[in-house]
């Protein structure tokens, strides 16, 4: 004992550590605990003395919540818990008083250079079929500590931007990887402040929102392995293994003072908002870092294992719909409240604009793991009044076999549309049988989203994401090259629909390089002219490569870091990307709120969309080949906008030969002019407003192989 703290009854709500001018209220849930002890540390030093305050179950407990108020505790103070109770694995109870636990509501954790999970393990073993995994090993010196946070921050009037989803262009990136490379020019590389330094670049590119890979606290050293190619230690780089859901990652802060990560994260959000850029967090409620029955006891397992996790019929074990050893029991009322409290915190206190839910289908499983028709957690998120303007995006599948793209339950959810990814990849690889499906993807995937009342913008259209090839690798490798991950190239997907166009990997052949860059432009342009919400993988705009690794989850090195020298090498590609984003955002026709109908909305005898084969005839959808054209009427009544747009005639050639397209007549008094032709070298591949090129032959266009042409109608 070091301070002989005075302890008062305290209050059960809010959960967590709540600071006021007099001290701190501590509150934590545990239904089956027999004793709860609050541990307070004298100083931030790793080996500092501490005091254990055992809570009185009569005075410091309301229902299932243990609580106390400790006066004179300040911001920056550090704490943990010990929780005692029955250790009966066959009933799902795994209390262990010797394990210091993290508060699930902790707003920050201390940064530990090498977080040692071994001290959290119970050294599980079995004898005669009986689980004997209780451990007397104390982890208090190695467990990261919770930090009391003062929520006060000078937001300078900031509020979440909450753009309508249909006006959004998303950019998926990793906070550390964006600026960690020495050639990034960042003063604070690999941090929230490093990201702030890249705001001028992001603003120039024209994106409206960042979708950040997980920034909630996780342990990089969770699964230390060695890269067999280089000998370096591999780490958890992506961060899809959360330890503390309310706590921003400490190692992403340039200021390593305890709790500084909270203020730096807020600073990053504030400055991005000033630049008109939203912040969307990739959040992982489907599992935690505690893993399976052999994993460490960090927090939830030691607080109430059989409430927080889905347990197998043999309750010693965990259901594993996440592929990571355990599955959060998301539709248990206690866990449901935890999830909502967490989302409220990030929106209300941290000002984020939205969330992408990793393996979101797990949030739709009941406590036995069965998929539910009307999952209360998903419905609650969709209907919650605090979150009503917040973007909610589902990865609509899980590792347990659920695949819900197009029918994700819960109302207003948007979805990562992997059908868009696959069909567009296949078309540009030359698979002529998917041309009919390309038309559906260009139209907002009505086959997926129309039937349940959702809109085109609920489709998050992407070609590449963190999980898989970068766009440059998609056109440079026919096979994955994940040997450096230390799993004998077994990890990562095998169905990539990629192509190398003659040489596996880097090429010095200028013809191959030109074709590869043209295909990247085709992918990006297809996203930008499709109904739906486009999402660009960060770095694709200037040819970022992972050297053929399509699962770089463990590569915290130059495989994953952005190489900013490519911004000069691929300056034409960057210019094209920037201009095609601006092109989309200038034209409301590509952001229409409803699906096409094929009908005429303004009585000019032209439907909102018309489809053609290369001869200008109505398509035979079973025999189109690799050629497709469309005409889009830009009148305000057809695009459901407050102003008229241009009309568009867009042609696609996914084949290996040039094709002569017949071009339909524009409206009387107008002419078609070329805005985009991806086969033309930069800077003439996309022309700025007012500089579009008239057609040499008004009713014909010779479309080069592997290319898109976009014509717009203008009075000339």
Phi and psi at 179, nearest 5°, equal: -130, 5
Q: Where on the phi/psi map is residue 690: left (φ > 0), alpha (ψ -120 to 50), or beta?
A: left
For residue 209, give the nearest of 175, 167, 171, 174 by alpha carbon.
Answer: 171
Helix (H, G, I), strand (E, B) or coil at 580: helix
Instruction: Please check whether residue 536 is in contact with residue 216, taking contact to mean a CB–CB distance below 8 angstroms.
Output: no
> Between β-strands 278-283 and 242-248, what pairing exists: parallel, antiparallel or unpaired?
unpaired
Active site residues per annotation:
358, 395
**Which token pair is 220?**
């990089």
**Which token pair is 677?**
């032709």
Q: How distant, in Å, are the alpha carbons of 175, 233, 311, 355, 530 from that of 171?
A: 12, 29, 37, 13, 16
Spatial neighbors of 487 by CB under 8 A, at least 6 apart, are none
Spatial distance between the Cα atoms of 15 and 21, rounded to a whole number of angstroms: 18
Q: What is the DSSP string of 443-511?
A: TT-HHHHTTTT--GGGEEEES--SSS--HHHHTT-SS---GGGTSTT-SS-S------TTSSS----HH
Q: What is the DSSP string of 396-409?
A: -B-TTS-B-TT--S
Enclosing H/E stretch for 627: strand 627-632
Q: How distant, in Å, are the alpha carbons of 173, 198, 448 from that of 177?
A: 8, 12, 34
Spatial neighbors of 385 by CB under 8 A, at least 6 apart, are none
């Amino acid at each position: 004992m070091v301070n002989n703290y005075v302890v008062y009854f305290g209050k059960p709500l809010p959960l967590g550590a709540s600071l006021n001018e007099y001290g701190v209220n501590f509150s934590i849930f545990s239904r089956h605990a027999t004793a709860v002890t609050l541990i307070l540390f004298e100083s931030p030093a790793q080996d500092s003395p501490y005091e254990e305050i055992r809570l009185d179950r009569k005075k410091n407990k309301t229902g299932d919540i243990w609580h106390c108020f400790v006066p004179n505790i300040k911001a920056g103070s550090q704490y943990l818990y010990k929780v005692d109770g029955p250790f009966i694995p066959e009933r799902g109870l795994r209390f262990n008083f010797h394990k210091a636990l993290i508060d699930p509501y902790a707003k920050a954790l201390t940064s530990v250079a090498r977080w040692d999970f071994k001290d959290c393990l119970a050294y599980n073993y079995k004898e005669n079929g009986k689980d004997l995994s209780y451990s007397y090993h104390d982890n208090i010196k190695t467990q990261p500590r919770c930090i009391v946070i003062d929520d006060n921050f000078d937001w300078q009037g900031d509020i979440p931007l909450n753009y309508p989803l249909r006006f959004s262009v998303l950019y998926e990136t990793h906070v550390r990887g964006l600026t960690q490379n020495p050639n990034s020019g960042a003063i604070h590389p690999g941090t929230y402040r490093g990201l702030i330094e890249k705001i001028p670049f992001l603003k120039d590119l024209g994106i409206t929102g960042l979708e950040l890979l997980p920034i909630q606290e996780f342990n990089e050293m969770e699964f230390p392995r060695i890269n067999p190619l280089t000998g370096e230690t591999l780490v958890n780089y992506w961060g899809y293994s959360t330890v503390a859901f309310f706590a921003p990652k400490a190692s992403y802060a340039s200021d390593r003072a305890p709790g500084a990560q909270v203020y730096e994260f807020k600073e990053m959000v504030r400055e991005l908002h000033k630049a008109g850029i939203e912040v969307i967090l990739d959040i992982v409620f489907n599992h935690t870092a505690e893993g399976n029955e052999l994993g460490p006891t960090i927090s939830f397992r030691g607080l109430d294992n059989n409430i927080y996790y889905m347990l197998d019929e043999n309750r010693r074990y965990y259901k594993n719909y996440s592929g990571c050893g355990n599955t959060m029991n998301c539709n248990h009322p206690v866990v449901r409240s935890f999830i909502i409290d967490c989302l409220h915190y990030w929106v209300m206190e941290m000002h984020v604009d939205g969330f992408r839910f990793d393996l979101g289908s797990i949030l739709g499983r009941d406590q036995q793991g069965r998929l539910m028709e009307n999952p209360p957690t998903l419905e609650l998120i969709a209907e919650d009044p605090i979150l009503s303007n917040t973007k909610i995006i589902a990865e609509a599948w899980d590792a347990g076999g659920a695949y819900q793209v197009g029918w994700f339950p819960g109302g207003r959810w948007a979805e990562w549309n992997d059908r868009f990814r696959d069909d567009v990849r296949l078309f540009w690889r030359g698979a002529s049988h998917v041309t009919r499906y390309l038309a559906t993807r260009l139209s907002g995937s009505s086959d997926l989203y129309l039937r349940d009342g959702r809109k085109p913008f609920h489709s998050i259209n992407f070609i590449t994401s963190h999980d898989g090839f970068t766009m440059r690798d998609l056109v440079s490798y026919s096979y994955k090259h994940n040997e450096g991950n230390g799993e004998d190239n077994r990890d990562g997907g095998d169905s990539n629909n990629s192509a190398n166009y003659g040489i596996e990997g880097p090429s010095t052949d200028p013809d191959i390089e030109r074709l590869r860059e043209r295909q990247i432009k085709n992918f990006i342009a297809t996203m930008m002219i499709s109904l739906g919400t486009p999402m660009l993988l960060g770095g694709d705009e200037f040819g970022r490569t992972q050297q053929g690794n399509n699962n770089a989850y463990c590569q915290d090195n130059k495989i994953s870091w952005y190489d900013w020298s490519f911004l000069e090498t691929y300056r034409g590609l960057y210019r094209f990307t920037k201009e095609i984003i601006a092109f989309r955002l200038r034209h409301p026709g590509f952001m229409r709120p409803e699906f096409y109908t094929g009908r005429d909305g303004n009585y000019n005898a032209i439907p909102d969309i018309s489809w053609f084969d290369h001869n200008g005839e109505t398509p035979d959808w079973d025999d189109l080949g690799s050629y497709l054209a469309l005409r889009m009427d830009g009148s305000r009544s057809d695009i459901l906008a407050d102003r008229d747009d241009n009309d568009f005639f867009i042609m696609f050639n996914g084949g290996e030969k040039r094709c002569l397209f017949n071009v339909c007549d524009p409206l009387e008094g107008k002419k078609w002019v070329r805005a985009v032709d991806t086969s033309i070298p930069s800077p003439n591949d996309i022309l700025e407003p007012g500089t579009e090129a008239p057609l040499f032959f008004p009713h014909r266009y010779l479309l080069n192989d592997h290319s898109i042409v976009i014509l717009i109608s203008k009075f000339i």
